[in-house]
Chain A
């Protein structure tokens, strides 16, 4: 593949946008390196799609600036921005063949016919659909349509590639194939890429870095593993991955560490996120796989409510003596069965630093 690496950086500089009186995007700054694959992750209504449409130029943002490769492009209409988009429903032109769809952007730029057809051939090779050149979009499967949409977007060598919920319309098996495929193609083309998604697994598996958005605000922008391991807000902790949430009282503060007393008795150490004072009511989060059964004195006593052996892992729902319920997940040994309901056990964090402490709202 002879891709010229037109990797361009993308800077969203203090973008704010309102629809009427409601704030859709609230002072978001994202500095994205050339060639990076970034996921905008958040529930619906978090502003991720608005942000995507601002980058593409379909919406003019109220405040802030979109800067590609060091140049502000705010004054440019969409058709002068050289930004590739793959829409959720692919938006292939139904009255054109696959080849014409892929050639569309080249033709719009006045590329000559020979170059067009060479480039179309190259792109169809890239997405492995050369045999489909003369078909119409409706004759293709969902996954094939998506690859054509990707080929069409990449054909013009866009500086930025935007993917809007690209896997939402695909069934589960195809989804993983397409995720691998898109990541492969993105690596080969070297195009700076932004994926908008509400699916955290998709974001964590595909993206170099993940930007978590909630109510138009940027909650955290970090490597996928860091977002999962060290969430910077309660929202991120509960939205990304599974979390057990308990409330308690902050008994002791030591730098960024704190000790929380739990309602049913017992105390856990954890990482403080944000400034917290001794005596404050706090919420603590711990992921199911970071909890373990223990016979230690500081483990919280409880009973097994139900056990779910999930193949590679085993999840137990535990009702603490204090009343709260927790999920405990761990690897399942060969032949291991779930503990029977009603068994007396005690749980404690298996890893130090896995407990995160957030202010109560």
Chain B
């Protein structure tokens, strides 16, 4: 049952892809790192001034923190809404699964810009939510939903939902249905079976879904900017302003590198936590 190790294949076959990555990923990244070490915008002097400027500036740090925090909130909301959805999918008859899968994947098939504008329509002062609240008498004046933190989180959660649900579906459908029956025959109620058997076995899917959602949410330039509006600044927009508007390339590069390191740090921390709570080695 053991498949041939990956290295047994002819490595030369991977060369075109490796070349592509070297040219369009590794090289630009190296240039980015290099640029971030210039102290002036005309790229003449080397130094750590850009990093110092970011790390000693409370405003810059607050943008970084609020971006990572946004990622955490979106990820949690996706997990909270996505798990029941994935659960429903796995337990549905085949025909319903087809329909559900279409609904789940639909966000991936429409443009981010279109989806984001849809949220502007939904959350706006004259939007669907406000109209409903007003007509039901639940609010006297239109609520401010757009350009708020909550609005950004909800819109991002919808936009990134497939990234959470698809790994969860994979993990849940891999679980042997007999395990649930075995658990309940042994005297465990539905909740105990879920916590002791289903959840631990779904953990790899939860981890994958959270990482994907988190990474996508913190870098979602369009949705963050359009639903968040001008008052809320997150790392991608900050970076864009510095490079395109102010043409401060070294500082923009430094922001990128700091953002990259912060995200890698968060992901590593998350992985560690997951491994600890998993408590068992994957076969």
Interface set of A (CB-CB < 8 Å, partner B): 56-58, 77-85, 87, 89, 91, 93-96, 104-105, 108-109, 136, 138, 152-153, 156
Contacts and interface: CB of A to CB of B under 8 A. Distances in A.
Contacts of B280: 95-96, 136
Nearest to B187: A108
Given A87-B182, A94-B283, 20 more contacts: A56-B181, A58-B181, A79-B187, A85-B181, A89-B176, A91-B178, A91-B179, A91-B181, A94-B201, A95-B279, A104-B183, A104-B186, A105-B187, A108-B183, A108-B186, A108-B189, A108-B192, A152-B182, A153-B185, A153-B186
Contact of B184 (A78, A93, A95, A109): A78
Nearest to B283: A138
Given A87-B178, A136-B280, A138-B283, A93 B197 contact: yes
Nearest to A162: B185
B179 A93 contact: yes
Contact of B188 (A79, A83, A89, A136): A79
**Which 3 interchain pairs have the tightest Cβ spacing?**
A105-B186, A91-B178, A108-B187
B127 interface: no
A96 to B, nearest CB: 8
Interface string B78-114: 0000000000000000000000000000000000000
Contacts of B283: 94, 138
Contact of B187 (A82, A94, A95, A96): A82
Name the prevailing secondary structure of the B interface residues.
helix
Determine which residue in B182, B186, B192, B197 has the highest number of CB atoms from chain A within 10 A of its CB, and name it. Answer: B186
B150 interface: no
Contacts of A93: 179, 182-183, 196-197
A95 B192 contact: no
Contacts, number: 69
B186 A56 contact: no
6 contacts: A84-B185, A85-B181, A85-B182, A93-B196, A94-B283, A104-B183
Given A95-B200, A95-B201, A79 B184 contact: yes
Interface residues of B, number: 21
Contacts of B176: 89, 91
A87 to B, nearest CB: 5
Given A89-B176, A89-B178, A91-B176, A56 B185 contact: yes
A82 B185 CA distance: 7
Given A94-B201, A136-B280, A77 B182 contact: no
A79 B178 contact: no
A152 B181 CA distance: 13
A84 B280 CA distance: 26
Nearest to A158: B185
Nearest to B182: A91
Given A93-B197, A95-B200, A136-B280, A109 B179 contact: no
B185 A81 contact: yes
A80 B176 CA distance: 22
Contacts of A83: 185
Contacts of A89: 176, 178
A271 B7 CA distance: 71
B187 A156 contact: yes
A156 to B, nearest CB: 6
Contacts of B189: 79, 108
A94 B196 CA distance: 12
Nearest to A137: B283
B236 to A, nearest CB: 38
Given A93-B179, A95-B280, A79 B185 contact: yes
B192 A78 contact: no
B176 to A, nearest CB: 6
A79 B201 CA distance: 21
A104 B188 contact: yes
Contact of B181 (A82, A87, A96, A136): A87
A257 to B, nearest CB: 49
Contacts of A108: 183, 186-189, 192
B193 to A, nearest CB: 8
B278 to A, nearest CB: 8
A6 B210 CA distance: 49
Contacts of B179: 91, 93
B185 to A, nearest CB: 5
A94 B178 CA distance: 12
Contacts of A104: 183, 186, 188, 196
A108 B279 CA distance: 20
A138 B281 CA distance: 11
Contacts of B200: 95
B181 A156 contact: no
Contacts of A82: 187
A85 B187 contact: no
Nearest to B177: A91
Contacts of A84: 185-186
Contacts of A94: 201, 283
Contacts of A80: 187
Interface string B246-267: 0000000000000000000000
B81 to A, nearest CB: 26
